[in-house]
Structure 1
Amino acid sequence: MINNFTEHQGFEWIDLIDPTAEELTGVAEKYNLHPALVNDCLQPDHLPKYERMEDYAFIIFRIHTHNNVVEADTVQELTHKIAFFYSSRFIITVHRRNHDLILPIVELVKHEKCSNTLDLLNLLISACLNTYTEPLSKLAKAVDYYEEVVFLRPKKAPLLKGLYYLKRKTDLLKRMLILSFDIIDALDSQEGNVNTRDTRDLYVKHQSILDALFENIHQLLAIYFSVSSQKTNETMRILTIFSVFFMPLTFIVGVYGMNFEFMPELKWEMGYPGVMAMMVLVTIAIYFWFKRKGWL
């Protein structure tokens, strides 16, 4: 579907929603778009890019989806692609589905709030960046939750799986923003433009949040493995202490369980209580030895 939102504004905004091959080819021929860039529009998993041609620029920006699946961890599950062809005469946006961010900007254009294509592109990129605001807030809350569980409720349910998906989402979103830097840098290339500077500030804010989340998650993973290792060591220590107590007792029982004919203790009337007393004394001696060493 092809929409023309700015027929009488001095520039054109052509919005293509899930275009057919014929629609895309017709627009490409009309505006002399490079076939390789048009082909990039059709790749659903294409990463963010900025490419400057002779008389226009090509941008691919990935926006965050409304996908609330906890275990989403791929580019296509977490983000959608919007392609832009931008010049002083026109802006062409290409995307596969309707996005909520488009309609408010259409209203601004209809009320002549955009005087040129740079203002329109800035509004679109800013709206794309804003799709990351709520997901980053949720990621921050999730990290706080897992931090509380690691430190205060270590027996709470599976942490490692949740931390894995948090790490994957943070890594992916961070990579999307890093790859989008050229787009923001090109957009804010003119000094004194307050609107594009605000967009850069929003980009830097999101990047700072992701950097902090990325560091916190790695620290949580390190702490989690450290605590797990400490628990394992504590369990092994207790088992070792029990085994040290029972080793001499097992040896004594093994000796007297051989039942040789010429074992005098087997014929003694006090043989059994004597062996039991010896086992108690050995146990007490080991206990005090451990206390003296500070192992108990």
Structure 2
Amino acid sequence: MLQHITGKTQTGFEWIDIYEPSEQELKQIIKKYDLHPALVNDCLQPDHLPKYERMPTYSFIIFRIHTEDDMPEADKVQQMTHKIAIFYSDQFIITIHRKKQRFLDHLISMVQADKCNDSQELLNILINDCLNTYEAPLAKLSKAVDYFEEVVFLRPKKVPLLKGLYYLKRKIDLIRRMLILSFEIIDALDADPGNVNTRDTRDHYVKLQNMLDSLAENIHQLLNIYFSASSQRTNDTMRILTIFSVFFMPLTFIVGIYGMNFEFMPELKWKLGYPGVMLLMAVVTLFIYLWFKRKNWL
């Protein structure tokens, strides 16, 4: 669906928003604005990563915004983000997207109320709003990291940690990659020195990038701690089993000898043979216990 948001007579530039573009609509804008067909074809690729490309008369941007319906086990680009393509120049801005985006409604109202002076200002607000879509997910990821950190340190046996940490790591890595690939867009947007608005957008980007770096480092440390704690618990279990086996090995040896039932075994005829063997086993057990205590193994 092609929608003319504003024209040159109102704001000095055109803004055309295309939602779920049809082939006829794409041919129409290619012809009218002399757009390169390869770039328009990029708009149709749902898994295309962020990019910035400058043409002689216009520039082309693909930005990926975070989806509003984030699934707990989403770890793919298309599951976590949506693509919005932008053609812009001083004379026009064309936005193309498959999914309806609520944040665009706010921009449309602002432009129609004559609160946007030129296409550069609109582009800056648009990119800033795209970055805003990562704010809530990053806050949610930060809380999730805090939760798993508490579980790792305080409640290691309560939840299936490894699966949760895996999806958390995948989400952080994917969002981090989207923002890294978007750096060229932010850099091109903030090319003019002294522009306070574009500088705010860059600061916003840097803030999100720092948050992601911190989350990535925390989740990496949590994974290391989780595996270290798992290894420690395994070692503790093996230690206990080893202690039990050391206690029972000599007892099993004694019982094995007296269970052979050979005819000429003098101990079998002794009146005090049974209590004597039981006493021997008790002495051996006590000796092993005292030895372990002295070595600080218990």
Q: Same-fold call, TM > 0.5?
A: yes
Corresponding position of 1:272: 274
Percent sequence identity is 69
Q: Within 5 Å, give how 1:94-173 maps onto structure 2.
A: 94-173=96-175
Partner residue of 1:5? 5
SS at match of 1:61: strand
The 5-angstrom pairing of residues 155-234 of structure 1 reads 155-234=157-236
Greater CA deviation, 239-248 or 147-156?
A: 147-156
- State how far apart, in whole Å, the 2-side matches of 1:67 and 1:4 are: 28
Q: Secondary structure at the match of 1:5?
A: strand
Structure 1 portions without partners, runs of 5+: none
Q: How many residues align?
A: 296
Aligned equivalents of 2:294, 2:163: Cα separation in 1: 43
Amino acid in the other structure paired with 1:38: V
- Report the secondary structure of 2:146's partner residue: helix
Task: Indicate which of 76, 79, 94 corresponds to 1:77.
Answer: 79
SS of the residue 1:23 aligns to: helix
Answering whether residue 31 of structure 2 is matched by residue 59 of structure 1, we say: no
**Which whole-Å CA distance do the structure 1 matches of 2:35 and 2:13 have between them?**
17
| Residues 46 and 78, structure 2, Cα contact 8 Å, conserved in 1 | yes
Structure 1 distance, partners of 2:250, 2:157, is: 35
Q: How many angstroms apart in 2 are the aligned matches of 1:130 and 1:142? A: 19
Letter in 1 for 2:237: T
Distance across 2 between alignment mates of 1:115 and 1:69:
38
Shift of 1:20: 0.5
Question: What's the secondary structure of 2:197's corresponding residue?
Answer: helix
- Partner SS, residue 87 of structure 2: strand
Q: What are structure 2's unaligned runs of at least 5 residues?
A: none
- TM-score scaled by structure 1? 0.99
Q: Which residue of 1 aligns with 2:295?
A: 293
Q: Measure how far apart 1:112 and its partner are.
A: 1.3
The corresponding residue for 1:29 is 31
Q: Give the TM-score of the pair, scaled to structure 2.
A: 0.98
The amino acid across from 1:188 in the alignment is D
Structure 1 position 218, deviation (Å): 0.3
- Of the three residues 243, 256, 259, the one matched with 2:258 is 256
Moved over 6 A (4+): none
